[in-house]
Amino acid sequence: MENLERLVELAKIVRQACDFYTEKTECVSEDLAGLCHDASCALFGLAKKNGISVEMGESSCHWFVLLDNMIVDITATQFGVPDKVAVLPIEEAKEGWWKLENRSDLPIVNGWVANGITKIAEELLEEKFNPQPKVLAHP
């Protein structure tokens, strides 16, 4: 259960990074529709870096991260799920976007969007991320 709690904390950070990314680029809607693969890749990579053994999960139209038999999904908001980080057992996944068709523990190739999200999330983890540029006061 400790790994699940840590994964959910990482997922919240990646979600925060996704929200910032979409706000600044305006290339993805606020509900993160179309960002599931990149966001899941970012979470997958951060989890692996933090020693959490996860897998990528895929349905016919959606990507998410798996830990044992739990789904951790940071873009389910695109389907009307109110939680920014949805966590549920695979057995309870009855909706089409969570019906597991494939799972893989192979490294996932990150695209430039996933890399950008990962960079923001890593800075958030290190508490170095500042979305506002510092303004230097002159005497």
Number of domains in the chain: 1
In a domain, 83, yes or no: yes
In a domain, 130, yes or no: no
3-state secondary structure at position 62: coil
Q: How far apart are CA 41 and CA 80, in angstroms?
A: 22
| Six token digits for residue 139 | 């005497």
pLDDT bracket for residue 9 (50, 70, 90) = very high
3-state SS track over 65-82: EEECCEEEECCHHHHCCC
Write out the residue range of the structural domain in which residue 6 sits.
2-125
Locus of tokens 């899941």? 40
Highest mean pLDDT among 22-31, 63-72, 126-135: 63-72
- Higher-confidence position of 51 and 110: 51
In a domain, 132, yes or no: no
pTM to 2 decimal places: 0.80
